[in-house]
Chain A
């Protein structure tokens, strides 16, 4: 093979590689966003927690929301309360008492048809409780 031929081949390869790299970088820098994605509302969900109105603000009911309408005859109440606090749940249908051995609690309360007023009181180191009143509405599916 002649020397000029080899030089021409090498020169051609370098030129081709250069052109390839140029095309590659130009493409990456261009505007690719042609499709507008549909934004998911899931990211916008904000959980609201109700806090007791005392200065200590240690009783927090995270579920259900105040005024919630449900179609089952019981509801799970969950939240946070002081460790070792005595929590009393009182409603026209039932009452529950539990000692809060963890930071948070969950209890299931039966519901009557219509409005259910559930008072949640927590005694922690005192005979004066922190209190919250929750209203949950049970309506049967028609």
Chain B
């Protein structure tokens, strides 16, 4: 009898095992520190990559130069403050497909530039300043075609009347309303009432200028809208 009681008791304690949950997991201090450092490194690398991907630039005409504090005026006539650092800011000129180094003194008031760098408050600390050509895209309706001097008048969406010189080097294209492809055209195809998108070289020193030489010209014939 005693043997059977002992055997039964042992069996019960072997089979019915209560799991222990009260123990707090601990990790070795050296392993934990190494993990944290790795995570921190990963986060820094991610941030650097993110900053590269989200890097932005602003552009405008240099309207004020006061030692290392510049003011740009952008396309919407908004003033942008720029801080120049003597040792950190680099200066470049963009011409065609080449970028060449410049000195700070090479950039004057009236130059068109774009700037990369962090925006702190309402000022941008310039990492790099690039002097570039200003381009504009004008769109509107052709209101007049003058064959004598190869000009067209375009009334833009904001109601500005532009006079555009169509030169032999102007790239002129028109939408084929059946195929929706663009085709090369000559001056004789331009007519009043058509919609037009024109690329011109801007003049940073005269923002009120309304006469330009057209570089590219894309026409959407009025017939497209009458279909």
- Cβ contact within 8 Å between B39 and A38: yes
Closest Cβ neighbor of B175 among chain A residues: A97
Q: If A69-B116, A135-B59 touch, does A86 touch B224 (CB 8 Å cutoff)?
A: yes
How far is it, in angstroms, between the C-alpha of A5 and the C-alpha of B137 when the chains are bound?
100
Q: If A17-B16, A95-B173, A113-B97 touch, does A90 touch B216 (CB 8 Å cutoff)?
A: yes
- Cβ contact within 8 Å between B218 and A114: no
Say whether B24 faces chain A, with CB atoms less than 8 Å apart.
yes
- Tell me the dominant secondary structure on chain B's binding face: mixed
- Closest chain A CB from B125 CB (angstroms): 15
Say whether A34 faces chain B, with CB atoms less than 8 Å apart.
yes
List the A side residues contacting B25 at CB < 8 Å: 34
Given contacts A38-B43, A92-B137, A114-B130, 5 further A-B contacts (CB under 8 A): A13-B16, A23-B22, A27-B22, A97-B218, A115-B114
Q: Mark A70-100, 1 if CB is under 8 A from B, else 0.
A: 0000000000000000101011100101110
List the A side residues contacting B224 at CB < 8 Å: 86, 123
- Cβ contact within 8 Å between A88 and B218: yes
Q: If A5-B5, A114-B94 touch, does A69 touch B56 (CB 8 Å cutoff)?
A: yes
Say whether A109 faces chain B, with CB atoms less than 8 Å apart.
no
Say whether B199 faces chain A, with CB atoms less than 8 Å apart.
yes
Q: Mark B128-171, 1 if CB is under 8 A from A, else 0.
A: 00101111110101000000000000000100000000000000
How big is chain B's contact interface, by range? 35 or more
How far is it, in angstroms, between the C-alpha of A117 and the C-alpha of B215 when the chains are bound?
14
List the B side residues contacting A34 at CB < 8 Å: 24-25
- Closest chain B CB from A129 CB (angstroms): 7
Say whether A9 faces chain B, with CB atoms less than 8 Å apart.
yes
List the B side residues contacting A19 at CB < 8 Å: 18
* Chain A contacts to B: CB under 8 angstroms: 1-2, 5, 9, 12-13, 16-17, 19-20, 23-24, 26-28, 34, 38, 41, 65-69, 86, 88, 90-92, 95, 97-99, 112-115, 117-119, 121, 123, 126-129, 131, 133, 135, 137, 139-140
- Closest chain A CB from B129 CB (angstroms): 12
Q: What 6 pairs between A and B have smallest CB-CB spacing?
A: A20-B18, A119-B137, A27-B21, A114-B94, A67-B56, A90-B197
List the A side residues contacting B139 at CB < 8 Å: 90, 119, 121, 129, 131
9 residue pairs from A and B, CB less than 8 Å apart: A69-B57, A91-B199, A92-B135, A95-B197, A113-B94, A113-B99, A114-B130, A123-B225, A139-B99
